[in-house]
């Protein structure tokens, strides 16, 4: 009896590896072009770190596949030259038709956006929504906002090539289910992506909000053009998004980045995770408010704390800077292990600005290895509360089959 080779095994291993590398190079070149808008081949070598031969071969394929175009030289002759008397060809991405949709759930809001395949936001909406204990209402609201976005831009669901949803909770990578009961208690064991898919009739990709925020900052914000970074969301909890070589690192089960539950004080306050003395118990927004409240008559909000910091209140600035030092102490260890080029601070607490970043910077310089400390820049988010939804857009683009060369689809 003849042996039938399964379809997945028909490509020899070296060829499968070559296709994977080709797709990787293609993604890096398109990402660089989206950040810059246009670039020469020499620019692409410098921006991606790929060799001239690799860039030349990849560009040739992408030009032939219609994924990239050469722009005519400007009539005023200002194009840079690649040799005496010869203008360097300027390249630009060719974006296929279609739109992607990003959805971001916070604990008390839903933000949604639609963008074209160049990453240009076409419409965006935000609404207050109690999310934690009302998954049915939240998912129904997401379906409603999805429809509103398409109506707003005059598109139908057949035009949508990707939908990504973010939640402030660890997500099991294999099952797509919410796996912990201490962050979104009403969502435990739910599979939100499948539930939304049943309402809108399109596949939905689900990810943790800090992962999406990290990707948003790398694609559109403070870390644009960088490929190795750590994003820290300092809010009700402390979440972390890790980007390695331009891709989100999620770990084996999808729960990587739980910096807030690194233990700092073994005999410290009880944490909602069941442990004691976690980083979150020392630096989260509820802790900041509890620390400062005895000094003030009226109930404080995080907006009040930020206003006090900006007005020069010594107590508020000290508490926020101490929180930065505590966060920075844990990040210093990550810098030693991962060697990122940027640390981006987001979430509600990041609005305190230098009061927070100076504390983080001080701790990293003190506790990280000098070479690792010197390599990393510390800054706050430039996307603010839009980082997550723009990260959802970025992930939808990154996973979009329409953006792949024909032999990598």
Identify the pLDDT of residue 2.
43
In eight-state DSSP terms, residue 274 is S
What's the confidence (pLDDT) of residue 9? 35
The pLDDT confidence band at residue 409, using thresholds 50, 70 and 90, is very low
Average pLDDT over residues 378-395: 96
- In this predicted structure, what is the pLDDT of residue 35? 73
pLDDT in the model for residue 244: 93
What pLDDT digit, counting tens, does each position of 359-368 carry? 999 999 999 9
DSSP state of 310: H
Mean pLDDT score across all residues of the chain? 88
The model's confidence at residue 24, banded by pLDDT at 50, 70 and 90, is confident
pLDDT at 12 over 70: no
Q: Which distant-in-sequence residues (6+ apart) come within 8 Å of 166 by Cβ?
A: 102, 103, 104, 105, 206, 207, 208, 209, 211, 212, 388, 389, 391, 392
pLDDT at 96: 73
Q: Which of 16-25, 115-124, 381-390 has the lowest mean pLDDT?
A: 16-25
Query: Stretch 152-178: mean pLDDT, rounded?
Result: 93
- 127 Cα distance to chain centroid: 21
pTM of the model: 0.81
Q: pLDDT for 319-346, tens place per residue?
A: 999 999 999 999 999 999 999 999 999 9
Cα-only R_g, the chain: 23
Which pLDDT score, from 0 to 100, does residue 16 have?
Answer: 47
**CA gap 191, 176 in Å, rounded:** 6
- Of the two residues 258 and 21, the one the predictor is more confident about is 258
Residue 330 confidence (pLDDT): 97
Name the 3-class secondary structure at 378. strand
- Burial code (b: 16+ CB inside 10 Å, e: under 16) for 152-181 equals eeebeeeebbbbbbbbbbbbbbeebbbbbe
Question: Which residues is 114 bridged to in the sheet?
Answer: 101, 123
Say which residues have a Cβ less than 8 Å from residue 83's Cβ, sequence separation at least 6.
Answer: none
What is the per-residue pLDDT across 37-92, written as a single tens digit (0 to 9) for each? 788 999 899 888 899 999 999 999 888 888 888 888 765 555 554 455 566 789 88
pLDDT higher than 80, residue 13: no
pLDDT for 18:
58
Tally the C-alpha atoms within 13 A of residue 195's C-alpha that lie toward its C-beta. Answer: 18
Under the banding of pLDDT at 50, 70 and 90, the label for residue 353 is very high
Query: pLDDT tens digits, residue range 301-319?
Result: 999 999 999 999 999 999 9
For residue 73, the model assigns a pLDDT of 73
pLDDT value, residue 177: 92
pLDDT at 203: 96
pLDDT at position 1, please? 43
181: pLDDT strictly greater than 70: no
**Cα–Cα distance, 238 to 253 (Å, whole number):** 19
């Amino acid at each position: 009896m003849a042996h039938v080779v399964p379809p997945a095994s028909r490509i020899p291993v070296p060829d499968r590896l070559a296709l994977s590398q080709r797709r990787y190079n293609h993604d890096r070149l398109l990402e660089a072009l989206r950040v810059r808008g246009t670039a020469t081949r020499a620019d692409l070598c410098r921006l991606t770190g790929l060799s001239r031969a690799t860039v030349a071969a990849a560009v040739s394929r992408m030009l032939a596949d219609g994924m990239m175009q050469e722009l005519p030289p400007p009539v005023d002759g200002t194009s840079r030259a690649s040799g005496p008397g010869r203008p360097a060809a300027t390249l630009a991405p060719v974006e296929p038709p279609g739109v992607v949709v990003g959805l971001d759930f916070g604990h008390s809001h839903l933000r949604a956006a639609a963008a074209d395949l160049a990453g240009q936001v076409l419409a965006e909406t935000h609404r207050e929504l109690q999310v934690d204990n009302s998954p049915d209402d939240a998912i129904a609201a997401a379906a409603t906002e999805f429809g509103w976005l398409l109506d707003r831009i005059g598109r139908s669901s057949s035009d949508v090539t990707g939908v990504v949803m973010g939640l402030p909770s660890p997500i099991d990578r294999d099952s797509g289910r919410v796996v912990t009961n201490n962050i979104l208690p009403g969502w435990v064991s739910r599979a939100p992506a499948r539930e939304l898919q049943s309402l809108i009739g399109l596949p939905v990709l689900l990810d943790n909000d800090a992962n999406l925020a990290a990707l948003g900052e790398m694609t559109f914000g403070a870390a644009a053009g960088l490929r190795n970074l750590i994003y820290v969301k300092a809010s009700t909890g402390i979440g972390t998004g890790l980007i390695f070589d331009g891709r989100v690192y999620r770990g084996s089960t999808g729960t990587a980045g739980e910096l807030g539950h690194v233990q700092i004080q073994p005999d410290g306050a009880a944490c909602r995770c069941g442990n004691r003395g976690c980083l979150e118990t020392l630096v989260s927004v509820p802790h900041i408010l509890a620390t400062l409240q005895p000094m003030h008559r009226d109930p404080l909000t995080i907006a009040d704390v930020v206003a006090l910091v900006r007005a020069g209140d010594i107590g508020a600035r000290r508490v926020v800077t101490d929180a930065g030092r505590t966060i920075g102490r844990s990040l210093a260890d990550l810098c030693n292990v991962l060697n990122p080029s940027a640390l981006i601070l987001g979430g509600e607490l990041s609005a305190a600005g230098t009061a927070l970043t100076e504390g983080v910077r001080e701790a990293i310089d003190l506790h990280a290895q000098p070479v690792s400390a010197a390599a990393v820049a510390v800054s706050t988010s430039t996307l603010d509360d839009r980082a997550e939804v723009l990260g959802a857009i970025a992930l939808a683009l990154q996973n979009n089959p329409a953006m792949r060369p024909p032999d990598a689809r």
